[in-house]
Amino acid sequence: MIDGTGGPESACPIAPVVDIVFSRWTTPILWALHEYGRQRFVELERRIATITPKVLTQRLRQLERDGLVLRTYHAEVPPRVEYEISDLGRSLAPLFAALAEWSGAHLGEVEQARRDHDGRRVVRGRTYARRS
């Protein structure tokens, strides 16, 4: 929500969206649900191999609360729970596509800029190229 309090939202109106969509694990979860459809918890856990079960549970709950993910409980023995991206979450697809395109076109430039920057040294406030 944009407010007049002078917080980050007033300085950058997309800050709340970035906080919701681009937190550490949200993007891989939404991407997996968008790409592979409805999934059980263990399927998501396998697709995002580096996430812990605790963090996956927390993120799924938050995404459900934000309306980006739907949780379906099936009263069976054993109980089955499935997660899928909601229409609201699916509406982010063009944004993800644009970011994937930008990444393909420019990530190499970012990596080169980092190498160039890391190759410099600073002496008494002045920057010099490092000697090889």
Please write the tens of the pLDDT for every residue from 41-92: 999 999 999 999 999 999 999 999 999 999 999 999 988 999 999 999 999 9
Q: What would the CATH number be for the domain defined by 1-87?
A: 1.10.10.10
Q: Where are the domains of the chain?
A: 1-87, 92-132
39 Rama sector, left if φ>0, alpha if ψ -120 to 50, beta otherwise: beta
pLDDT of the residue at 16: 87
Are 130 and 121 in contact by the 8 Å Cβ rule? The answer is yes
Better-predicted residue by pLDDT, 40 or 100: 40
- Of 15-19, 29-33, 62-66, the one with minimum mean pLDDT is 15-19
Quote the mean pLDDT of the chain.
88
Residue 2: is its pLDDT beyond 80? no
pLDDT tens per residue across span 98-108? 988 999 999 99
Please give the Cα distance from 70 to 66 (Å, whole number). Answer: 10
Tell me the HSE value of 48 on the side-chain side, using a 13 A CA sphere.
27
pLDDT at residue 30 above 80?
A: yes
Check if the beta carbon of residue 57 is closer than 8 Å to that of residue 64.
no
Three-class SS of 13-77: CCHHHHHHHCCCCHHHHHHHHHHHCCEEHHHHHHHCCCCCHHHHHHHHHHHHHCCCEEEEEECCC
Give kind and range of the element (H or E) at residue 122.
strand 120-123
The pLDDT score that the predictor gives to residue 18 is: 86
Longest Cα–Cα distance of the chain, Å, equals 70
Q: Is 84 in contact with 41 (CB distance < 8 Å)?
A: no
Residue 1, pLDDT score:
47
Name the band, by pLDDT with cuts 50, 70 and 90, for residue 126: confident
